[in-house]
Amino acid sequence: MADKIVVADKIVKEFKPNLFMGEAIRIIDGVSFELDREESLAIIGPNGSGKTTLLKILATIYLPDSGTALIDGYDIIKDTEEVRNRISLVSPALDFQKKLTLKETLKFFADIQDSKIDQAFDFLQYMGLMPMLDLRLETFSEGQKAMTRLAIGLMKKPEILLLDEVFATLDFRRREHLIKYLEDYVKGITLIIVDHHSEVVDRLCTKMLLMKRGGSTLKIGSVGEIFERSPYKYDVIAVPKKYMSEEISEGFGYPYMRLGGRVRFFVKNKEEADDLIERMFEWDKFVSFEVSGVSMDDIYWLSMLESAEEERFKKFCTQCGAFIPRDLNFCLQCGYFLD
Amino acid sequence: MGYFKTLNACTWRYLKIDWRYKFSIVTDAIWTMVTVVAFGTLGYAAGQGNENFVKYQGTNAFIWILVTGIFYWTFFSRPFEESVLAVPEEAARGTLGFLVTNQVSPATMLTGRMVSSVFKFTIIAAAVVYPVMYVLDLRIPPEYLLEIFLILFISMFFMLALVFIVSALTLIVKKIGVIINIFLHSSRILSGFYFPLSNGKESEFGPVAMWIENYLPIARGLVMIRDIVIPEDKGGGISHTAVWEGLEWMLIGTVIALVFAFIFIAKITDLSRKWGTLEFY
């Protein structure tokens, strides 16, 4: 039994849009991390940062172009059989044969995983899906399908459970229920989670891997370390009376993030918090604002903000005003070449 | 043991799914019936005044050739298509990657699909094609039931080898509709479905045609089926010894094809994991 349950070393993955010509696109760029037993990792980053591809490499669906990873001491390239015995990937991409019942579906997956169907019953009971055992999956909602995926993943009793946005289609009540189940009942399993919900990361993960677009690592560390390293110690959550434009938000002079109708500002110390509040009073168009110390939730959003920082350098066409991806020097809409 | 448990699970799953799509079974049966009518008509028209067209005698000889060909190919045509299409279907459903992470190779999944599909079409062949054969005086003698079963059984595994090869291509090439037809029709031509290969033995391609008829499992299998079901006094008839000798050659050819196809699909599966095409649909 290896000391580290996961050791990923400089993993690189590129995909070619056309197999026989053209440039390869780098999806993952030298990602490394280690996990001790019972540690849990959250992989966070904007769309296109290679989170799901990284999970699929760890799950042995894809082969890395260079670098490798050890799962419980077994190499994901050379010892695929051993690795596959230890992992279970729960992906939203997994759909089902709609004409089969829940029980038939679980039976099939139990047989191929060499597990037992009743190992899923505890979870189904907890999530209230047992009465649906004999119903066909064509009658299931997206949330119920998500639960079915997780039941299949848990049925295998893996050492490492790879969860790819399993919470995405769940309503608040179900999400809370599921987090609690994973907190209370899933012991001794290493979780590697890709998710956009900060409360999922906060409650289920001890470590974070922050990725940025292009698949490179922005930050890696324990939640506490990342918390310590953050230059921002307070946040101010403001609820404006009406829509607050980018210009106005930027005018306050502090990093911010929009979340629905709210704007979350980040400040480094009490002086900056006082300054920001004073400016808010001057603007006088807030329903409310609330100051608090930076929480795990803030760390999550700050990291997202940081990884999206490059987006701030985005360009617009001087001819037609259309957005131009930062890697291009011409407009996709009107073909105008930028200087 | 784990392999057979997985294969069993895949086969049952496909059988259940096929059974739930009953309308699809009906359309498959109708399609088979339409094929029998179309080729039967062609055989009748071509056979008039051409009694020596094929090695069998009588005005029905060409109908017999075609109807026995349909009987044989009913077991494999649609199962071949259904099995090859199983890969893109499973990939689009996201199951392919999941199966791979659980030690289920595309080859195992395809074998399950092929077995279940052949089972379905065995029922269709018995219900739709055999009654027509019976009316045309083409009978399966009870003493040849085991041999017929073995011919079909070995042929199924030869077709499975072709399924592996075409399915391997679907792991890296996405639009494969025409490729399926190319393989299917080539196999049917080479098996002598449309026209017995032995008829070309006097031509410049005669040696090649005879080699194919002797050593290509599906060609040898179809020839033996025809000789078993076509009445002896009309040019049919084959001894048990000749059938068993033919079965040996079929088995050797099928094993060689399966080994090659298995290595091919395993290599392509690895390549598709490297290229990232395993799940891109």
Write out chain A residues lying below 8 Å of B99, CB-based. 112
Most A-contacting residue of B101, B175, B271 (CB-CB within 10 A), to test interface: B101
**Which helix H or strand E contains B36, and what residues bound it?**
helix B22-47
Taking the C-alpha atoms of residue A306 and residue A287, their distance in angstroms, rounded to an integer, is 28
What values do phi and psi take at B22, rounded to 5? -65, -35
**A56, B6: Cβ pair inside 8 Å?**
no
Look at phi and psi of residue A9 and say left if phi exceeds 0, alpha if psi is from -120 to 50, else beta: beta
Predicted local distance difference test score (pLDDT) of residue B248:
95
Predicted local distance difference test score (pLDDT) of residue B281:
41
The chain B residue lying nearest A136, using CA atoms, is B20
Contact between residue B230 and residue B140 where contact means Cβ atoms under 8 Å apart:
no
**B270, A63: Cβ pair inside 8 Å?**
yes
Mean pLDDT of chain B: 89
Of the two residues A265 and B121, the one the predictor is more confident about is B121
With 0-12 CB in 10 A as exposed, 13-18 as middle and 19+ as buried, what is B23?
exposed
Q: Tens digits of per-residue pLDDT, B35-79?
A: 999 998 888 888 777 666 677 777 778 888 899 999 999 999 999
Q: Which residues contact B78 (CB under 8 A, 6 or more apart)?
A: B28, B31, B117, B121
Over residues B203-225, the mean pLDDT reads 90
B176 interfaces chain A, CB cutoff of 8 Å: no
Q: What is the largest CA-CA distance in chain A?
A: 66
What is the percent of chain A with per-residue pLDDT over 70, rounded to a whole number? 87
**A89, B17: Cβ pair inside 8 Å?**
no
Most B-contacting residue of A111, A114, A149 (CB-CB within 10 A), to test interface: A111
Predicted local distance difference test score (pLDDT) of residue A315:
57
The distance of B60 to chain A (nearest Cα, Å) reads: 45
Write out chain A residues lying below 8 Å of B97, CB-based. 56, 59, 61, 89, 91, 93-94
Q: Give the nearest partner residue to B100 out of A61, A85, A114, using CB atoms.
A: A61
B95 interfaces chain A, CB cutoff of 8 Å: yes
Write out chain A residues lying below 8 Å of B24, CB-based. none
The chain A residue lying nearest B108, using CA atoms, is A112
B234 interfaces chain A, CB cutoff of 8 Å: no
Most A-contacting residue of B116, B273, B278 (CB-CB within 10 A), to test interface: B273
The chain B residue lying nearest A19, using CA atoms, is B275
The distance of A14 to chain B (nearest Cα, Å) reads: 8
Q: Tens digits of per-residue pLDDT, B232-246?
A: 887 788 899 999 999
B275 interfaces chain A, CB cutoff of 8 Å: yes
Q: Tens digits of per-residue pLDDT, A107-160?
A: 999 998 888 898 899 899 999 899 999 999 999 998 899 999 999 999 988 999
**B21, A111: Cβ pair inside 8 Å?**
no
Taking the C-alpha atoms of residue B110 and residue B266, their distance in angstroms, rounded to an integer, is 13
**A210 three-state secondary structure:** strand
Write out chain B residues lying below 8 Å of A56, CB-based. 97, 279
Q: Tens digits of per-residue pLDDT, A322-337?
A: 555 555 555 555 666 6
Over residues B253-281, the mean pLDDT reads 89
Q: Which residues contact A233 (CB under 8 A, 6 or more apart)?
A: A267, A268, A269, A293, A294
Where do we find the tokens 């060689």? B256
Residue A19 CB neighbour total at 10 angstroms: 13
